[in-house]
Structure 1
Amino acid sequence: MPPTPAFSPAPSARERLTQVGRSRAARTHAADERLRTLLADAFAETGTPPTAGGVSVVALGGYGREELSAASDLDVLLLYDDRCADVAGIAERLWYPLWDDRVALDHSVRTITETSDAAAADLRTALSLLDARHVAGDAALTIQLRTTLLANWRRTAPRRLPELEQSCRERAARVGEIAALLEPDLKEARGGLRDGVVMRALAATWLVDVPQANVARLRSGLLDVRDVLHEVGGRRPTDRLRADLQAEVAAGCGLPDRDALLRYVYHLGRTMSHTADIAWRRAGRALAGRSGRRTGRTRPRPGPALTPLAPGVAAVDGEVVLAPEARVGADPLLPLRAAYAAADHGLLLAPHTADRLGNTPGTLPTPWPAEARRLFTALLGTGPDLLAVWETCDQAGLVNDLVPEWDRVRCAPQYSPVHRHTVDRHLLDTCVEASRLVRRVYRPDLLLVGALLHDLGKGGPVGQGGRDSRDGRPARPAPDHSVTGAEIAARLAPRWGFGEADTETLVLLVRHHLLLADTATRRDLDDPTTIRRVAAVVGDADTLDLLAALTEADARATGSAAWTPWRAALVGRLVGHVRRHLERGQVPAPGPLAQWQRALAREKLPGVVVEPPDVDGEPFRITVVAPGRVGSLATVAGVLALARLSVRSASVHTEVRVEDDTGVYADGHTEGDVGVSIWTVAGEPPDPAVLRERLDAALSGRDRVAPRVARMDAAHAARSARRPADVRVEPGASAAATVLEVRAHDRPGLFHQVCAAVAAAGCSVRSAHVSTWADNAVDVFYLTRPLGGPLEEAVAARVAESVRAALDPEPR
């Protein structure tokens, strides 16, 4: 199967990669010639030709496969039998010259029996020996060894293949999958070179048909990239495609940039993974059938029986194939029926069937008929079984007929470590997650199609990702993927046969798929303006349900950090407020302090209460009572930062304390207003008594918090690159306060630093909300004048500039 056109290297790149492959072949040829010369020299004194001396030099592993890279070991077996009188002397004459040449040598000296025993004792050794290749000496001896090893491997396959499959699973769990790693290990990761070796071993069992030409092509592509990686790595070669080397490796491969390199590697790895999945599935059925025949549980049949599944589609031996009456090319619904039948029944869509459908596709009319739309949305709702079927269709070129824009996201990397998969795989994972939520919404089809479309605005043509070659971040402002995705949805939905109203809903879902998550974590949910703005976007409760389900599916598909109980609770609270506004016109009002919090405000300052988290590792609340003066919030934020606590949100309430008959308050203060701040933080819950002591020292001035926080930030900055902060005022976000949004590189003292800058400008913080993704933070502050109310426009601009200057003191 040739590469998808999007991944076919340009002619210049093909020429460069061809040169890399030739260099690999030349290294193998040179090693062969060196060993032949050394063996001939060893036999020269005896007058006996090496071909008749009971000794054979055999290449194993990567050397046996003729895949020597510049950093590869020379894996060599000196095979002998009882005709050889001085095998030790011959070995010395082989190994010592190589050691003198500083060749990395992995050598062994064995008889056929000893070699067979070593293969039986160790699975990795057995795989290496399956690639044994004759180099020099007695060729008949090498042939005898290969015949013995292959016979033993086929005989013991029912016992050894489960062990091999388990080792592959463990390796994948330990190292990860090539297409899910920003720095993939080209050898050990799932879909890498090691899996290509495993496919050769599976083919050698004769139990399963493996497309060996395709596997060889995939291995060759990965080997080319690895060879260039070893060249770039210099004296410390690595199989891990490190981010700091990717731009150089891309140039060495003749590819335009890091983005194109990763897409190419991801495509090779994903195709290898898919091929391995199919091979293991078929091997499992073959082993089960062999076991059944051996125990007499089943009777041999003259041939596999076809089980009809749908018009033109049938199942046979665990795979979906075309029925004899199928009208390929004349029935445009046939590919959708075959794909849906496979996913719905949890079967494999036979690759040869998908290839046949891809080579002679029927053309669906535009707009699609209702049955095509039904099959398509039903396929998207089949859950985890969608993934393998979609991949088979994509490998056969069928997906482009269904989703013409799929090229822009296929294997597109996502450089945020929050995302665990490429863009296309994330879209499919979102469909899988959405399939579990379809009973929550009135139109499951719109939810599933929205899940497929929501990030389709990401990506772009290969080599045109608009990314900086050094770190993968955008080199110039990229268009909002939600806006681009909405434009794509507006084109595709009518093509798929959705009416005008449904198309508008799909466009809304794609355009605003981040609305609920962003609002819940970055806005004050008790501010009526927040609720009214969200309600104005969604329009009605049914659309709100669709958007809420899409938000959850998207977050769950992103990774564990994106949908925590805390985030889920915030989104749920927002959805509840918006629903009440849509259905009853109600808007939330800030709730009063709890009785225990008001009582805490009457005690000696500062007061501290730590509420343990409901779930270990989740954010928890800390209530702090401190003197009601400008700057107290910044001081508390600094103390929390020094306690290694990450702020997620903070709200401030003013409480008037009651004096006694002497005119003095219980703790000696003469100011009547105190601030009750409620913090949601993440980290290890502190001892309340210790935290109170630290707050008391900081608020009284005995402990200068700001310099200590600055030193902690400086140490953090030394370990990571910092980019300029983006500080902006969000007009109209609240009627009662001025909303200031700060986007900056995350660091322990960021929240403290912003609070201090706001206090220095004479403003008060009513509430604050923090959203952190990887190393990027979005902090949103609701600012008021000292006596309440939003800031004047000119004052707000000056405050924004003050915060910007505090975060980036050096001129840009």
Structure 2
Amino acid sequence: MTAAERAARTEAADDLCRTAYDGLAGPRTGVALVAVGGYGRGELAPRSDLDVVLLHDDGVDPGALAGQVWYPLWDSGVRLDHAVRSTSEVLAAAAGDLKVALGLLDLRFLAGDPHLALRVRTTVLAQWRRDARTRLPQLRELVAARHLATGELAHAGVPDLKESQGGLRDACVLRALVATWLVDVPHVELERCRQDLLDVRDALHGLGARQGDRIGPEAWAPLAAGLGLDTPLAAQQRVRTAARRISHVSRLAWRRVDGALARPRNVGPRRPELHPVAPGVAIARDEIVLDRGARPADDPTLLLRACAEAAERDLLLAPATAARLVRECGPLPEPWPSQAREVMVRLLAAGRGLLPVWETLEQVGGLDRILPEWEQIRTLPHASTIHRFTVDRHSVETCIEAASLIRQVARPDVLLVAALLHDIGKGQAGDHARVGAPVACATAVRMGFGDDEAGLVAGLVRHHLLLARLATSRDLDDPATVAELRAGVGSEAELDLLLALTEADARATSPKAWTPWRAGLVRHLVATTRASLADAAPVPVPREEAVEIPWQVRHDCAEVSVAVRQHESGATVTVVSGDRVGLLADVAAMLAVQGTSVRAARAWTDDGFGVSQWEVADQFLDAALLRQRLLGIIDGRIDPAARLRTRAGHHPARLEPSVAVRPGASHSATVLEVRAEDRPGVLHRVCAALADLKVSVRSAHVDTLGPQATDVFYLQELGAGALTDDRAAAAAHGVRAALSADGAEGAVGTERFRHG
């Protein structure tokens, strides 16, 4: 699909419209048929409507003219979006409705009275320019609301070519901004990206009537074939690269609109004043530019210095300035001088101001000069749907999050560089943390870090997933867990860095990746490990899940206590009773029957009592009702298996579960790790299968991220002690059978109620 094909489609549609209009029996002056919107721009996609308006002067009665035009077009089979409007109605609609005004800016004459069409178009444009200062803030609110609803085309899992940020609608808005004469944009580059997206939309429409403008995951392969590209990844990169450019130009244009609106009309010198802020760097009209005495060829650090000033001050780095610096600045010596390294760290520590500056660097080719390794992850999509952004944008977001944590670490420079490079190994074969560590080390050395600091950066990259994994899938009170973490960190300072990197990485991933629950687990593990690293006896650390045993349970172990604490993102359900085999299965069944989504959970024993805390998505739970349901399950009056079988059909498993024993993960228990799709009853099935085998669950650690649940159970025999190899294998087999499609019902039978 090419611009020539779109032009041919438009010409064919124009011929249909002219032919229909030529058959009119009525006035020939004061009436005109015009195209608006995408048809007005001559950008008809294969499944686009024809947006047309029959214009007439206020003194001309169109009578039956409209029907004479529309019926031939309907008979031809085209999809028609039509209206009949007088000139005063059109101008009033343009003045009162931004969407109408935007569509009329692309008005194009088709047939009839050309003078009428020209007069209306000229008046609409004049009206748009006259009212720009009052209408552009409204337009910005409209654009922001659309972006919030549709996400970014460069990063969305199912992007919308038209409505998403950086899509075709934004390109039209940019044309409207230019039409105000308040700002300008790089037309050639914008038009190239717009044509790229139009080509993609044409190819997408060619895949079928149901595609619309949204690209589902299954569409990338046929879309690549339609565009003549080798791989689905190449198609993604083409779309996301064009969208990034449009987003960048759009952010630049809106910042300049803000500056133009803030300046009084026709006030001030034509030439902007320069305010020097650093050697060779100045501010002009809220943009970072070069000072008059700047000599880029003699100052290889000037590019980084200009970037840091723009990011720290949250100002635009003028694209023309950035492009000149990339062209003229000499290469930095290797290793970088300390001044360059310090300025780079300032740039990374700038917080939100980093993003627009980094985007400008990318657009002008500056990243190739500063960080050639970046090309490996540029526009690379994440394999996990939990991520909001592509790998490169996620890395920048991690830096932004890390910038707010630098007060908590002894080496903020190391933290920020590690945050930038933590995913640099993605896109290559193998574990990205292992692959990325030597790349990060070499990059840090080139930046001028010493061997020790570069090794610290590499270690953080190598272990950036370790802390979160252990905290959410291991018993935090087991010495083996602390020993495994200590193997990855060598000092308290490194542990603090790893904690900050873990938090920044999670926050940059998605809100679900750093909940208060997870933060509490991570910090508890860090506190325990810090005491161990300091060669001090571990001290009791208060935990969010610490629970006082209710008095009624202390007096009667058969009693059951259920408490619910609501919070902003859901609720915490705490259940306490006398410890026994099957208790955890009963509680999991209670929540499954309730239909509550479990996000995370922990269970442990406390002096003969079984305690479990469950983070759930439902805010409106009644503790008394939950307790009655739990008692009904314990007494055998409620059969959870029967109820869950009814629901299972709505949540078919797409992947076989993974059930594995982790040897050496604990000195006193057998650790069983279960990975399965997050669907109703998973926890109940696992716990019920273990109860059937009369296996005691000493502690459980449940975590749900995206579509997958990762559950880790510390198992012991009833008389305490780890399971034998045979018993561990039997436990793994029983759980696997309970979760498989064939064994889901049989493993959750009523036998368990006899010993539960």
TM-score with structure 1 setting the length: 0.86
3-state SS of paired residue (1:484): helix
Q: 2:57–2:86: 8 Å Cα contact kept in structure 1?
A: yes
Does residue 1:60 correspond to 2:36, yes or no?
yes
* 1:687 to partner: Cα distance: 4.0
* 1:590 to partner: Cα distance: 11
* CA–CA separation in structure 2 for the residues paired with 1:528 and 1:493: 34
Tell me the equivalent position of 1:784: 716
* 1:99 to partner: Cα distance: 1.7
Tell me the equivalent position of 1:534: 485
Tell me the equivalent position of 2:18: 36
* 1:395 to partner: Cα distance: 0.4
Distance 1:695 1:37, change over 3 A: closer
Tell me the equivalent position of 1:285: 259
Tell me the equivalent position of 1:608: 560
* 1:563 to partner: Cα distance: 1.5
* CA–CA separation in structure 1 for the residues paired with 2:584 and 2:579: 10
Distance 1:281 1:697, change over 3 A: closer
* CA–CA separation in structure 1 for the residues paired with 2:413 and 2:123: 58
* 1:244 to partner: Cα distance: 3.6
* CA–CA separation in structure 1 for the residues paired with 2:293 and 2:577: 79
* 1:591 to partner: Cα distance: 10
* 1:31 to partner: Cα distance: 0.9
Tell me the equivalent position of 1:121: 96
3-state SS of paired residue (1:635): helix
Q: 2:440–2:461: 8 Å Cα contact kept in structure 1?
A: yes
* CA–CA separation in structure 2 for the residues paired with 1:277 and 1:787: 66
Q: 2:736 corresponds to which letter in structure 1?
A: R
* CA–CA separation in structure 2 for the residues paired with 1:260 and 1:638: 46
Distance 1:616 1:302, change over 3 A: closer
Which aligned pairs between 1:570-581 and structure 2 lie closer than 5 A?
570-581=521-532
3-state SS of paired residue (2:699): strand
Q: 2:311 corresponds to which letter in structure 1?
A: A
* CA–CA separation in structure 1 for the residues paired with 2:742 and 2:628: 35
* CA–CA separation in structure 2 for the residues paired with 1:389 and 1:808: 50
3-state SS of paired residue (1:384): helix
How many residues in Structure 1 have an aligned counterpart in Structure 2? 740
Does residue 1:774 correspond to 2:726, yes or no?
no
* CA–CA separation in structure 1 for the residues paired with 2:93 and 2:500: 56
Which aligned pairs between 1:142-541 and structure 2 lie closer than 5 A?
142-234=117-209, 236-291=210-265, 293=266, 300-301=268-269, 303-459=271-427, 479-541=430-492
* CA–CA separation in structure 2 for the residues paired with 1:111 and 1:681: 61
1:22-73 deviations in Å (ceiling 9; x for gaps): 3322110101112222333337xx8x9x6xx444332211111001112222
* CA–CA separation in structure 2 for the residues paired with 1:598 and 1:237: 57
Q: 2:33 corresponds to which letter in structure 1?
A: V
Q: 1:423–1:459: 8 Å Cα contact kept in structure 2?
A: no
Which ranges in structure 1 are unaligned for 5 or more consecutive residues? Answer: 1-16, 294-298, 461-477, 657-674
1:111-162 deviations in Å (ceiling 9; x for gaps): 4444322211221111111111222333333332222222222111112111
* CA–CA separation in structure 1 for the residues paired with 2:232 and 2:730: 41
Q: 1:566 corresponds to which letter in structure 2?
A: W
Deviates most, 726-735 or 238-247: 238-247
Distance 1:41 1:518, change over 3 A: same
* 1:734 to partner: Cα distance: 0.8
* CA–CA separation in structure 2 for the residues paired with 1:319 and 1:190: 23
Q: 2:564–2:622: 8 Å Cα contact kept in structure 1?
A: no
Distance 1:627 1:499, change over 3 A: closer
Distance 1:602 1:306, change over 3 A: closer
* CA–CA separation in structure 1 for the residues paired with 2:692 and 2:272: 81
Tell me the equivalent position of 1:77: 53
Q: 1:522–1:771: 8 Å Cα contact kept in structure 2?
A: yes
1:64-85 deviations in Å (ceiling 9; x for gaps): 1001112222112333448x97
Deviates most, 493-502 or 241-250: 241-250
* 1:598 to partner: Cα distance: 7.5
Q: 2:33–2:55: 8 Å Cα contact kept in structure 1?
A: yes
3-state SS of paired residue (2:356): helix
* CA–CA separation in structure 1 for the residues paired with 2:474 and 2:539: 13
Distance 1:500 1:793, change over 3 A: farther
* 1:400 to partner: Cα distance: 2.0
1:623-651 deviations in Å (ceiling 9; x for gaps): 332573x4443233323321234273343
* 1:501 to partner: Cα distance: 0.6
Deviates most, 322-331 or 28-37: 322-331
Distance 1:596 1:497, change over 3 A: closer
After superposition, the CA RMSD in angstroms is 2.7
* 1:191 to partner: Cα distance: 1.3
Deviates most, 358-367 or 377-386: 358-367
Q: Percent identity?
A: 47
3-state SS of paired residue (1:68): coil
Q: 2:562–2:626: 8 Å Cα contact kept in structure 1?
A: no
* CA–CA separation in structure 2 for the residues paired with 1:679 and 1:111: 67
Distance 1:33 1:541, change over 3 A: same
* CA–CA separation in structure 1 for the residues paired with 2:547 and 2:419: 44
* CA–CA separation in structure 1 for the residues paired with 2:615 and 2:194: 48
* 1:190 to partner: Cα distance: 1.5
* 1:710 to partner: Cα distance: 3.5
TM-score with structure 2 setting the length: 0.92
